[in-house]
Structure 1
Amino acid sequence: MSTNGRLLNYINGQWMESGAGAFLDVKNPATAQVMAQVPLSPAEEVHLAAEAGVKAFKHWRRVPAVERVQHLYKFKRLLEEHRDELSRLITNECGKTYAESQAEMQRAIENVEVACGIPSLMQGFNNEDIARGIDEHCFRQPLGVVAAITPFNFPGMVPLWFLPYAVATGNCFILKPSEKVPMTMQRIFQLLEQSGFPPGVVQVVNGAKEAVDAILDHPDIRAVSFVGSTPVARYIYERAARAGKRVQAQGGAKNPVVIMPDADMDMTTRIVADSAFGCAGQRCLAASVGITVGEARNIFVEQLADAAASRKVGYGLDEGVEMGPVITAESKARIEKLIALGEQEGAQVLVDGRNKKVKGYEDGNFVFPTILDHVPPKSEIARTEIFGPVFSLMHAETIEEAIALVNDRSYGNMACIFTSSGAAARQFRYEVNTGNVGINVGVAAPMAFFPFSGWRESFFGDLHAQGMHGVEFYTETKVVVERWPKEWSRKF
């Protein structure tokens, strides 16, 4: 996977050294140890991959769907066989706990499994006799060469939101993984290579902005998938759409959870703590704002503070660790600066996770669980995606007031409610302006056969990742209207 510690690109079925003029260190966020160097590949290497994809597509699109998915079946088996190895790799380059990495790989494998059903999922439809003697058919056909630009927080799962559906439907796929966590995909692409995909069908080009812009501008890349922050998602969407491409761009989030007085407080506290502080808060479905309703405030705040203060933080491969570090030293500094901003804006720091060390890992990027109480709803901290283990608390008197607080934000990724009232749950799911809704669930992550349905500034595009949305995104419909008069047949 590397030459002298420098990671390689996988282009046209070959592992290749990049001609990049610059490389970045890939560091273990818990130890600060340099594990590898990733090339910032130039645009020319994206162009090379696109050309290889165009060439491969001419053959790959003609391979029957039942044959295409045989490669995915083998790939799924290899992922299962190497799940422990991949989970350890994710923990070392991303920082999450081993259990969290295991769960991530399970979700990744589930997407491959769903895509194996493509012979049924991409079926078209037809009608006989739309007029006398005339039939009409609708077929789904692949687009050609497609690409994905993926984030650091789920280096194994998010690329597999896209790749299996793209190749199963007959497209050729280029991945630009996050330059912060490129090692997981290097290993997974070795498994893809073993799965027997023809050269040019699956490719990986490492890099940063130059590689991204080359993907967005290349005329032969028909569609782009992205997951990351909202400012970058908007940039991806605008530039790729201007070039005539299909785009699905998942942006940021500020996910609220509403706690009703009739909720099971012990269960709610445990689930919300796992949602807020799991993966060190570095996931787009992390609970980041808690809104208590009425008397719920009296119990929930104290219990959550105890859960946050007692959470074991450390290196994700060590036994008993419940939360790892954030991805970089820069991220740690930014998160701690935002905590200070919240304090300046009037929030009370109920549990403070700043300026703490983990014994044996003093150079790690650790921010401990933090709770800000009485966060002003109109403050900057209430509207900024922190992307760290920081949970903000607000308080309302009625469910209507709580729903108004949920909807008074630009993001729309997820909202959750904890209650024993079916009426309150129905009112909540009906009225909140988010694409993913949880009822007594802290992380409303859709299964692989459902779309990951962000709204508003959490998503730019029409068709989301996963399931039938993925199939529709990577195919275009062709309608055929045909007539075969009998008198024509008699001539031959």
Structure 2
Amino acid sequence: MAQTSNPALFINGQWQTGNGTAFSAENPANGDTVWQGHSASNDDVNAAIIAARNAFPAWAQRDLNERIEILERFACLLGEHKEELARTISIDAGKPHWESLTEVGAMTGKIAISIKAYHERTGTRHGDAPGGGQAILRHKPHGVVAVFGPYNFPGHLPNGHIVPALLAGNCVVFKPSELTPLVAEATVKLWERAGLPNGVLNLVQGERDTGAALAEHPGIDGLFFTGSVPTGSHLHRAFAGQLGKILALELGGNNPLVIWDAADLDAVAHHTVMSAFITAGQRCTCARRLIVPMGAKGDAMIAAIDAYAGKLIVSAPDHDPEPFMGPVISNRAADSLIAAQAKLVASGAKIIREMTRPDAARPLLTPGLIDVTNVKNRTDEELFGPILQIIRVDRFDDAILEANNTRFGLAAGLLSDNAKLWQRFIHESRAGIVNWNKPLTGASSAAPFGGIGDSGNHRPSAYYAADYCAWPVATLQTDKLIAPESAPKGVRP
């Protein structure tokens, strides 16, 4: 059933109707319209930024403990409404309920993690200054920051920017993905109930035009984005020459998972499937390339993974029994993935397990395994869905070379019983997240999250989000002005 969200914008503490074009969002599992409203126009975006700017001085100067108190009330509300919010995530993004619950749990846990990170990585430090007095390190918020949210984690990922930004004293204008507006609306309503002052957090819904109006507005002091490489590259170009604005980009990856000298085939199968197919392959840390040895050992690994993948239940979130994988986000995304598979086959790839689309009307895709070893000039692209490309190599040296053969550098992993191989892999791999005998998708919010190359711009989020939410101010001070006892050299008495 469609939910009409008018008013759909939250500006200066008031819910308002957008003055832009009408748009809607659908449940990817069944095609039902779940949200409809009007996008924010340029004037609406401008009003949101003005509201944030006006709210900024008081919010930045508010006692830190008072800001923490509001954040902790938000965490309590997340806990009280976890079932409701998880259902909203399932409806909006197509995730199974069990996975949506884990997302709400991550949102709740982000509060305590952000507070700890703020104190450890920013906050205020005191020490002795050279020649007497004090050396003090303070951190100040940037001002008004824009947060762009993705569709694959419509609650958790924007929350990972918003929480540390508010904690540091910034005010936020939040633009969620147009594919998942319902989760953003539900989350902002919880922030409203938590007692945020008017203008501190503003919500502007909309499509590309709304995003462009926000990103290009001269009134923002920074932009925090999690999403696709093309959009991140566009933002990077748009911010060129604007030295006073901070841009934090967490983008995708063509992530390698190497399996070598691994005896437990059940573990190999489980960890590979969890790396490649959780969230229907729609995690930026998902394994995209599986690198295994030639010969019987590699054959056995692939057979075990194939058998495990065949056991996965792929269905709508409300299916009984509950599925492991729901749909990808849209029919457009499903069409693109099926076309990518066909292109690989036309280029010489061999299908091990075909990624299929049981219902042509819906974007439900079964997991796919495809051997691309013999494909010449393989394209280095992120296929954001449940398709895993297999590459066979003769030596571990070749496995490392293949793993690093990408313009990205987000995640890489090794499944192996050989500690010496791990020591080589951790030193020679080029990625910001490197796991050993753990799924690639097992990233921790208590650690930095980000990568190198086209996977970002060296501003990792998660625990290190505190770093880009505030800027350091170094001070030497003493409470009394005192002349030195003697003149410096070169000065006559």
TM-score range, shorter chain: over 0.9
Question: What are the within-5 Å matches in structure 2 for residues 12-51 of structure 1?
Answer: 12-20=12-20, 22-51=21-50
What SS is found at the alignment partner of 2:112?
Answer: helix
TM-aligned CA deviation for residue 281 of structure 1: 0.7
How many residue pairs are counted as aligned between the two chains? 478
Q: Match of 2:10?
A: 10
Kept after mapping to 1: 8 A contact 2:344/2:375: no
Q: Match of 1:465?
A: 461
Kept after mapping to 1: 8 A contact 2:431/2:451: yes
What SS is found at the alignment partner of 2:261?
Answer: coil
Kept after mapping to 2: 8 A contact 1:65/1:118: no
TM-aligned CA deviation for residue 396 of structure 1: 1.3
CA-to-partner distance for each residue in 1:48-89, whole Å, 9 max, x for gaps?
Answer: 111111111111111111111000111001101111111111
Change (3 A) 1:484 1:314: closer
Q: Match of 2:475?
A: 480
Question: What are the within-5 Å matches in structure 2 for residues 319-330 of structure 1?
Answer: 319-330=321-332
What SS is found at the alignment partner of 1:158?
Answer: helix
TM-aligned CA deviation for residue 464 of structure 1: 1.6
Question: What are the within-5 Å matches in structure 2 for residues 290-439 of structure 1?
Answer: 290-294=290-294, 295-318=296-319, 319-357=321-359, 363-376=361-374, 378-380=376-378, 382-439=379-436
TM-aligned CA deviation for residue 378 of structure 1: 4.6
TM-aligned CA deviation for residue 472 of structure 1: 1.6
Range 211-220 or range 435-444, more displaced: 211-220
C-alpha separation in 2, matches of 1:7 and 1:445: 38
Kept after mapping to 2: 8 A contact 1:264/1:419: no
Change (3 A) 1:128 1:317: same
Range 242-251 or range 281-290, more displaced: 242-251
Range 412-421 or range 314-323, more displaced: 314-323
Change (3 A) 1:3 1:346: closer
C-alpha separation in 2, matches of 1:249 and 1:315: 32
CA-to-partner distance for each residue in 1:436-464, whole Å, 9 max, x for gaps?
Answer: 1111111244322211121110112x322
Kept after mapping to 2: 8 A contact 1:69/1:116: yes
Kept after mapping to 1: 8 A contact 2:222/2:246: yes
What amino acid is the match of 2:17?
E
TM-aligned CA deviation for residue 106 of structure 1: 1.6
Question: What are the within-5 Å matches in structure 2 for residues 140-179 of structure 1?
Answer: 140-179=139-178
Range 94-103 or range 5-14, more displaced: 5-14
CA-to-partner distance for each residue in 1:6-58, whole Å, 9 max, x for gaps?
Answer: 460111011111011x2222111110111111433212111111111111111
Change (3 A) 1:34 1:375: farther
Alignment RMSD (CA, Å): 1.9
Kept after mapping to 1: 8 A contact 2:9/2:203: yes
Q: Match of 1:251?
A: 251
Kept after mapping to 1: 8 A contact 2:357/2:363: no
Change (3 A) 1:275 1:7: farther
C-alpha separation in 1, matches of 2:432 and 2:177: 25
TM-score (ref. length: structure 2):
0.93
TM-aligned CA deviation for residue 397 of structure 1: 1.9
C-alpha separation in 2, matches of 1:325 and 1:484: 63
Kept after mapping to 2: 8 A contact 1:262/1:419: yes
Kept after mapping to 2: 8 A contact 1:445/1:452: no
Kept after mapping to 2: 8 A contact 1:264/1:420: no
Range 366-375 or range 173-182, more displaced: 366-375
Question: What are the within-5 Å matches in structure 2 for residues 78-93 of structure 1?
Answer: 78-93=77-92
TM-aligned CA deviation for residue 5 of structure 1: 4.4
Question: What are the within-5 Å matches in structure 2 for residues 234-249 of structure 1?
Answer: 234-244=233-243, 245-249=245-249
What SS is found at the alignment partner of 2:156?
Answer: coil
C-alpha separation in 1, matches of 2:39 and 2:480: 60
List runs of 5+ in structure 2 lacking aligned partners: 484-493
Q: Match of 1:113?
A: 112
What SS is found at the alignment partner of 1:243?
Answer: coil
TM-score (ref. length: structure 1):
0.93
Kept after mapping to 2: 8 A contact 1:124/1:138: yes
CA-to-partner distance for each residue in 1:159-204, whole Å, 9 max, x for gaps?
Answer: 1111110011111111100000010110011110000010011111
C-alpha separation in 1, matches of 2:117 and 2:288: 36
1:452 lines up with 2:449 in the alignment: yes
Change (3 A) 1:387 1:335: same
CA-to-partner distance for each residue in 1:102-127, whole Å, 9 max, x for gaps?
Answer: 12222222212212346734323233
What amino acid is the match of 2:420?
A
What amino acid is the match of 2:9?
N
What SS is found at the alignment partner of 1:411?
Answer: coil
What SS is found at the alignment partner of 2:113?
Answer: helix
Kept after mapping to 2: 8 A contact 1:146/1:221: yes
Q: Match of 2:272?
A: 272
Range 313-322 or range 67-76, more displaced: 313-322
C-alpha separation in 2, matches of 1:422 and 1:196: 51
Kept after mapping to 2: 8 A contact 1:151/1:158: yes
What SS is found at the alignment partner of 2:85?
Answer: helix
Kept after mapping to 2: 8 A contact 1:377/1:394: no
What amino acid is the match of 1:88?
R
